[in-house]
Amino acid sequence: MRRRAGLGAIQKQKLEQEKYKDKSNEIQENQFEQMSKQLEFFKTNLEEFASKHKNEIKKNPEFRRQFQEMCASIGVDPLSSGKGFWSVLGIGDFYYELAVQIVEVCLATNDKNGGLISLEELRTRLINARGQRKEHQEISKDDLLRAAQKLKIFGSGFNVIPYGKGKFMVQSVPGELSMDHSAILTQASASNRAYVSVNFLRKELSWETERSQNALENLVNQGLAWVDLQEPTHEKLYYFPSLFNECISA
Quickly list DSSP for 164-193: SSS-EEEE-SS----HHHHHHHHHHHHTTS
In tens, the pLDDT along 58-95 reads 677 777 777 777 777 666 666 555 554 555 555 666 77
Is 3 inside any structural domain? no
Is 105 inside any structural domain? no
What letters, b where the CB count within 10 A reaches 16 and e where it falls short, cover 142-159?
Answer: bbbebbbbbbeeeeeebb
pLDDT of residue 126 exceeding 60, the answer is yes
Average pLDDT, the chain: 76
Is 155 inside any structural domain? no
Is 195 inside any structural domain? yes
- Residue 155 and residue 159: Cα distance in Å, rounded? 8
Q: What is the pTM of this model?
A: 0.60
pLDDT at 206: 92
pLDDT at 166: 81
Domain count, the chain: 2
Q: Please, are residues 107 and 158 in contact by the beta-carbon 8 Å criterion?
A: no
pLDDT of residue 159 exceeding 60, the answer is yes
Rounded to the nearest 5°, which phi and psi values hold at 50? -65, -40
Owning domain of residue 56: 29-89
Of the residues 39, 60, 89, the one at which a domain ends: 89
Is 21 inside any structural domain? no
Of the residues 42, 61, 89, the one at which a domain ends: 89
User: What's 189's domain CATH number?
Assistant: 1.10.10.10
Choose from 68-72, 110-114, 145-149, 216-220 the range with maximum mean pLDDT. Answer: 216-220
List the single range of 39-43, 145-149, 203-207, 216-220 with lowest mean pLDDT.
Answer: 39-43
Share above pLDDT 70 across residues of the chain, in percent, rounded to a whole number:
64
In tens, the pLDDT along 187-246 reads 888 877 888 999 999 999 999 999 999 999 999 988 888 888 776 667 889 999 888 877
pLDDT of residue 139 exceeding 90, the answer is no
Of the residues 89, 112, 131, the one at which a domain ends: 89
pLDDT at 176: 73
**Complete DSSP assignment for 208-233:** -HHHHHHHHHHHHHTTS-EEE---TT
